[in-house]
Structure 1
Amino acid sequence: MPRVWDVPVRDATRVRDARVAAEQAAALAGLDERRTAAAALVATELATNLLKHAEGGQVLIDVVDAPALRQDPEPSRVVQITAIDHGPGMSDVGAAVRDGYSTTRSLGAGLGTCLRLADDFGVHSTAGRGTVAVARLGMTRGSEALAPERPAGASGLGGPAVAAPRPAGGASGASGAGSPPEDSARGGAPAGALTCGALTGHAVVAGDPLGTPARPAVAAGPAAPWNDPSAWPTPARGLPDGGAPGNATPPHEPPAAGATEAAAGTATAADPSVPLAGVRAGGVNIPYGGAEYSGDAWTWVRAGDRVTLLLADGLGHGPEAARASSAAVAALHRWAHLCPAEVLAKLHDALKGTRGAAVALAQLDLGAGRLRFAGIGNVGARLREGGSWRPLLSRPGIVGVHRPTTLREEEADWAADRLLILHTDGLPSRWTPPCDAGLPAADPAVTAAVTIRDASSPARPVRDDTAVAVLTPTPPERP
Structure 2
Amino acid sequence: MNGDVVLDHGIWFRGVESGSAASAVRRAAERLGAQLELGDRPVADLAIITAELTSNLVKHAQEGMVLLRPVRRGGRAGVELIAVDHGPGMADLTVSSRDGHSTTGTLGIGLGAIVRQASWFDGYSLPQRGTVLAVQVWSGPAPEPSWAGALTRPMTGEQVSGDGYAVRVVEGRQQVLVCDGLGHGPLAAAASEAAVGAFRDAPNGSPGAVVRHLHRMMSHTRGAALAVAELDPAGGLLRYAGLGNIAAMIVVEGARRRGLVSLPGIAGHQNPVVREYDYPFQVGATLVMHSDGVVDRWDLADYPGLVGRAPLVVAATLLRDAGIRRDDACVLVARAEP
Whether TM exceeds 0.5 here: the answer is yes
Q: Report the Cα distance in structure 2 between the residues aligned to 1:94 and 1:26, rounded to whole angstroms.
A: 27
SS in 1 for 2:177: strand
The residue number in structure 2 matching 1:15 is: 22
Q: Which amino acid letter does the alignment assign opposite residue 469 of structure 1?
A: L
Q: Report the Cα distance in structure 2 between the residues aligned to 1:53 and 1:359, rounded to whole angstroms.
A: 38
2:232 corresponds to which of 361, 365, 372: 365
Structure 1 vs Structure 2: percent identity of aligned residues? Answer: 38
SS in 2 for 1:107: coil
What stretches of structure 2 of length at least 5 have no aligned partner?
1-6
Q: Which amino acid letter does the alignment assign opposite residue 326 of structure 1?
A: E
**8 Å CA contact retained: 1:301, 1:336:** no
The residue number in structure 2 matching 1:52 is: 59
**Per-residue CA shift, 1:195-251, capped at 9, x if unaligned?**
xxxx32xxxxxxxxxxxxxxxxxxxxxxxxxxxxxxxxxxxxxxxxxx51xxxxxxx
SS in 2 for 1:21: helix
Q: Report the Cα distance in structure 2 between the residues aligned to 1:401 and 1:25, rounded to whole angstroms.
A: 38
1:40 shift after superposition: 3.2
SS in 1 for 2:103: coil
Using the size of structure 1 for normalisation, the TM-score is 0.64
Q: Report the Cα distance in structure 2 between the residues aligned to 1:408 and 1:465, rounded to whole angstroms.
A: 26
1:454 corresponds to which of 302, 321, 337: 321
SS in 1 for 2:156: helix
1:107-122 paired onto structure 2 within 5 Å? 107-122=107-122
Q: 1:474 to 1:49 in 2, by over 3 A?
A: farther
The residue number in structure 1 matching 2:3 is: none
Q: 1:38 to 1:298 in 2, by over 3 A?
A: farther
1:392-411 paired onto structure 2 within 5 Å? 392-404=260-272, 406-411=273-278
Q: Report the Cα distance in structure 2 between the residues aligned to 1:30 and 1:403, rounded to whole angstroms.
A: 46
Q: Report the Cα distance in structure 2 between the residues aligned to 1:115 and 1:443, rounded to whole angstroms.
A: 15
What stretches of structure 1 of length at least 5 have no aligned partner?
67-71, 143-198, 201-242, 245-279
Bigger Rg over Cα:
1
Which structure carries more strand by proportion?
2
Q: 1:431 to 1:80 in 2, by over 3 A?
A: farther
Q: 1:402 to 1:23 in 2, by over 3 A?
A: farther
1:192-271 paired onto structure 2 within 5 Å? 199-200=143-144, 243-244=145-146
Q: Which amino acid letter does the alignment assign opposite residue 267 of structure 2?
A: V
Q: 1:108 to 1:92 in 2, by over 3 A?
A: same
SS in 1 for 2:132: strand
Q: Which amino acid letter does the alignment assign opposite residue 427 of structure 1?
A: V
The number of residue pairs the alignment matches comes to 329
The residue number in structure 1 matching 2:332 is: 469
1:28 shift after superposition: 5.4
**8 Å CA contact retained: 2:166, 2:200:** no
Which structure carries more helix by proportion?
2
Q: 1:65 to 1:369 in 2, by over 3 A?
A: farther
SS in 2 for 1:288: coil
The residue number in structure 2 matching 1:131 is: 131
1:304 shift after superposition: 1.8
1:427 shift after superposition: 1.1
1:2 shift after superposition: 5.0
SS in 1 for 2:174: strand
1:124 shift after superposition: 0.7
Q: Report the Cα distance in structure 1 between the residues aligned to 2:194 and 2:33, rounded to whole angstroms.
A: 24
